[in-house]
A and B are shown apart, each in its own frame.
Chain A
């Protein structure tokens, strides 16, 4: 069974339809790019999938659990990292790891092991006792991602994870994502950067609450006879401006 399946998922706020009957599924180990301009309904859709927001209609299953009735189960099985930092700046690197491990119910022993592993992988052993506020932005994001998948979730949701960092760090960040996906973690990521869209296995583009395009980046480029994802995005945006 696919980790994420939605069918006609809709969210209304009064008369405003934030997410209009979106239907898609994401496969295990896939990196799924969720694109759209600000206000297109990305965040609303993502919040519904994470169990933060109750849909108005339609169905959705995340990790095999229903978003209406089993949001607690969903929360156990997903990781989440938002555009703003998920880390506490006034806590040390180690304390952040211990805190997030703790609230996901990992045992002290498991947390200890995972901390050592994680710090080694990120080559941050020397910074374990530093406050997060002292770390450079790129490091914080890598740490933040690693903590989001600390409890081995089957799906990880990333909400514009690379905002504000340089291309090189962004590339390094994506290496972490690839590595997680290769271990079978499903990655659901929203982004503003079109070069990042090219890194995804499949991409959906939302305009005004609807999914207007959904395919691999290459086939989307062919379909819109565009040179890059940027072009695809602009074409959809222009279409919207005309209507």
Chain B
């Protein structure tokens, strides 16, 4: 035990004396959360639109009012004729144009039909789709209101509810995603680098010649990172909850326990990486390219797994991050308990065991 304390203390010296390590450990999570939380967002807020209201009657102005009421759209300008639509788009300020056909109210009453045209700037297809979806939903709402007044028969009433994230806040996806990425990065990359560093500097040999059991060397190196990663998880969760209003509906204890589990998974992955390399550079590149990129792309953090080609969907299954993101979202947003997230938990436990066994095997091969 004394040996362990001596060892862990040394490890903390390494960490706290290296600015680069500190920066990666604590600077990056905060910067990333803020970046993803505020800057990179795919939700719509105050999108500039142009309105060409050819009707200018009671109903059309109510519709326009409705469009701008939710805070999603902001009227940049009112257009006078069709030809000015193109010009407005060319200027680049507006993302969408709403054209309301002439005699909107009248045709509504006489033909039970009103016509609205939506034109979006599909140069940015994602935004265009989202804008159109929002606008269609708002118009649909408006239609229902009017239907209510008119008591028209035979209308299909579709009610859409966005469960668990009614405001469609993308930050609810990014917080678990960034947390996963950071924990994986800090745990796997930092451990593999720190172990590779001992090998590169030749101090590993001294440690192996010492009476320290090899297992204690690894545990001594890893435990400080478990502690720091856990602190990191707490920082990210706190920021998620207090800055971005992310809910934690499920059990906090379960959530933290799952965090510890994922930290262990990442650490064992880091140990595995370090067992196949002797160089810090290699360890870093392996963690960055082999781990970070595929995780960011395949874990469902940025791109939905459901829309990937089938082979990539299979591949996403071997990403520990995918399972952890599911667990995080289930616990935080849905309030699921262990009875719902046990399959994913089991996958992570299995992966951890696999990595540990592989590392031990590699270690033995190297020794003999």
Give CA–CA (A89, B201) in the complex, Å: 10
From B69-77, B203-211, B252-260, B290-298, the one touching the partner chain is B203-211
Pull 19 A–B residue pairs with CB atoms less than 8 Å apart, ordered by A. A52-B208, A52-B367, A53-B367, A54-B368, A72-B211, A75-B210, A75-B211, A80-B205, A80-B206, A82-B202, A85-B202, A86-B206, A90-B14, A91-B13, A95-B13, A102-B3, A102-B6, A103-B211, A104-B211
- In Å, the complex CA distance between A51 and B210 comes to 10
Whether B211 lies near A99 (C-beta < 8 A) is no
| Any B CB within 8 A of the CB of A50 | yes
Does B110 sit at the interface, judged by CB under 8 A? Answer: no
- Interface SS majority for chain A: loop
Q: Could you tell me which B residues sit within 8 Å of A by CB distance? A: 2-3, 5-7, 9-10, 13-14, 17-18, 201-203, 205-212, 367-368
- Is A83 on the interface with B (CB-CB < 8 A)? yes
Do A78 and B209 touch across chains, with their CB atoms under 8 A apart?
yes
Chain A residues at the B interface, C-beta cutoff of 8 Å: 50-54, 72, 75-76, 78, 80-91, 95, 98-100, 102-105, 157
A88 with B10: in contact, given A83-B202, A105-B2 (CB under 8 Å)? Answer: yes
Cβ–Cβ contact A88 & B14, under 8 A: yes
Please state if A80 and B6 are interface contacts (CB–CB under 8 Å): no
B207 touching A103, Cβ below 8 Å? yes
Chain A residues near B3 (CB, 8 Å)?
Answer: 102-103, 105
Give me the 5 closest cross-chain CB pairs, A-B, nearest first. A84-B202, A102-B6, A80-B209, A86-B206, A75-B211
What's the least CB distance linking A15 to chain B, in Å? 16
B368 to nearest A CB, angstroms?
6
In the complex, the answer to whether B210 meets A90 with C-beta atoms within 8 Å is: no
CA distance A54 to B202 in the complex (A): 20
Contacts of A54 in B (CB 8 A): 367-368
A-B pairs with beta carbons under 8 A, tally? 75
* Given A84-B202, A85-B202, A104 and B13 contact (CB-CB distance below 8 Å): no
A51 to B203, CA, bound (A): 16
Besides the known contacts A90-B14, A105-B2, 7 further A-B residue pairs in the complex with CB atoms under 8 A apart: A52-B208, A82-B205, A84-B201, A85-B203, A91-B14, A99-B6, A103-B6
Contact of B206 among A82, A89, A90 (CB under 8 A): A82
Instruction: Report yes or no: A75 in contact with B203, Cβ–Cβ below 8 A.
Output: no
Residue of A nearest to B198 (CB): A88
- B207: chain A residues at CB < 8 Å are 103
| Chain A residues closer than 8 Å to B205, beta-carbon distance | 52, 80, 82, 84
CA distance A102 to B2 in the complex (A): 7
Q: What's the nearest-Cβ distance from chain A to residue B290, in Å?
A: 27
Please pick, from B14, B209, B368, the residue contacting A75 in the complex, using a CB distance under 8 A.
B209
Chain B residues near A99: list those with CB within 8 A: 6-7, 9-10
Interchain CB contact (< 8 A) of A105 among B13, B208, B211:
B211
**Residues of chain A contacted by B2 (CB below 8 angstroms):** 102, 105
Q: How far is it, in angstroms, between the C-alpha of A102 and the C-alpha of B231 when the chains are bound?
A: 28
The contact of A91 among B10, B202, B211, by CB within 8 Å, is B10
**Min CB distance, B190 to chain A, in Å?**
15
B-side contacts of A103, CB under 8 Å: 3, 6-7, 207, 210-212
Question: Inside 8 A of B202's CB, which chain A residues have their CB?
Answer: 82-86
Q: Which of B201, B210, B368 contacts A104 (CB 8 A)?
A: B210
* A53 CB, nearest partner CB in chain B, Å: 7
State the Cβ distance, A62 to closest chain B Cβ, in Å: 12
List of B residues within 8 angstroms of A85 by Cβ: 201-203
Kindly state the separation between the CA atoms of A70 and B279 in the bound complex, as whole angstroms. Answer: 31
Inter-chain CA distance A104–B367, complex, in Å, is: 22
Chain B residues with Cβ under 8 A from A98's Cβ?
6
With A99-B6, A103-B7 as known contacts, state yes or no: A50 contacts B209, CB within 8 Å.
yes
